[in-house]
Amino acid sequence: MDNNIIYEIDNYLNQIIANAEHIEDNKEVSEYASKIKDAAYSIEALITDTCIKKTKIKVNGYSTDFANIIGLKVMIVDDVIENIEIMRNIFTTFSCKIVSACSGEEALEIFSNGFMPDIVCMDIVMPGIDGATTTKELKSMGCEAYFIAISALKNQSKNIVSIFDYWLTKPFTLEHITAALSAYKHSDEMPNETIYKLDSEIPTQKKDELLRLAQEGAYSKLKKLIASLENSKSKEFLNKSLKRIDLNSIIKSIVSP
């Protein structure tokens, strides 16, 4: 099956999941909504597993090699089991060693017991210790992993976003996951990461709006806002980042000191 078709199906599935979650609180249809959501998750996992088995994946004309992901140690932290299973299915295809935690406290205990992850997928809102606090605590304990935030929250503060290496918005698509993993590099490969800073000519209000839309994964709105900017190197950078589905570079160009 053509990759573009797979991505389109995956986007439709995420729309189904989001709509099912929206009506799940309605008692009259909650049972059906849950079944629809579970079925969509199952199909999405199957498609993701099939598509991502190749170490090289092409997204929007850009080819990404995932050979550096194979065999890594991954920690998935989320209080929703279904979300853990989706991420587990993805990393299993790369023969990663995976551990999961349903809370920040459990994640800290796992790390204390000697598991040193290369990648951490961290939910933000959880009972007990939240994801941002857990991440800061793990870093203070010596964890040097690549931290991917996974959250449905919008309009997060720059201080929280800057804690993570990548911000993945729920509901995420295969393209989002591909972008998050393609940004990963071993620590010895990136001693001095260069982060682009947006021109000072771009008004603060528009920078804040760019940040909000990038966090939400709102591609069409982000594209429209970028198109409204005056021509500059920053606009060129933003367009190239958007074309690569690299929203993280856009976020870092705004939140990094």
Taking 80 as the threshold, does the pLDDT of residue 142 lie above it? Answer: yes
pLDDT score recorded for residue 192 = 47
- Alpha carbons within 13 angstroms on the beta-carbon side of residue 163 total 23
Which distant-in-sequence residues (6+ apart) come within 8 Å of 33 by Cβ?
20, 21, 23, 24, 26
pTM above 0.75, yes or no: no
Taking 80 as the threshold, does the pLDDT of residue 158 lie above it? Answer: no
Amino acid found at 240: K
The neighbouring-strand residues paired with 148 are 121, 166
| pLDDT tens digits, 21-70 | 778 778 888 888 888 877 877 676 666 555 544 445 444 444 455 667 87
Burial 29-48 (b: 16+ CB within 10 A, else e): eeeebeebbeebbeebbebb
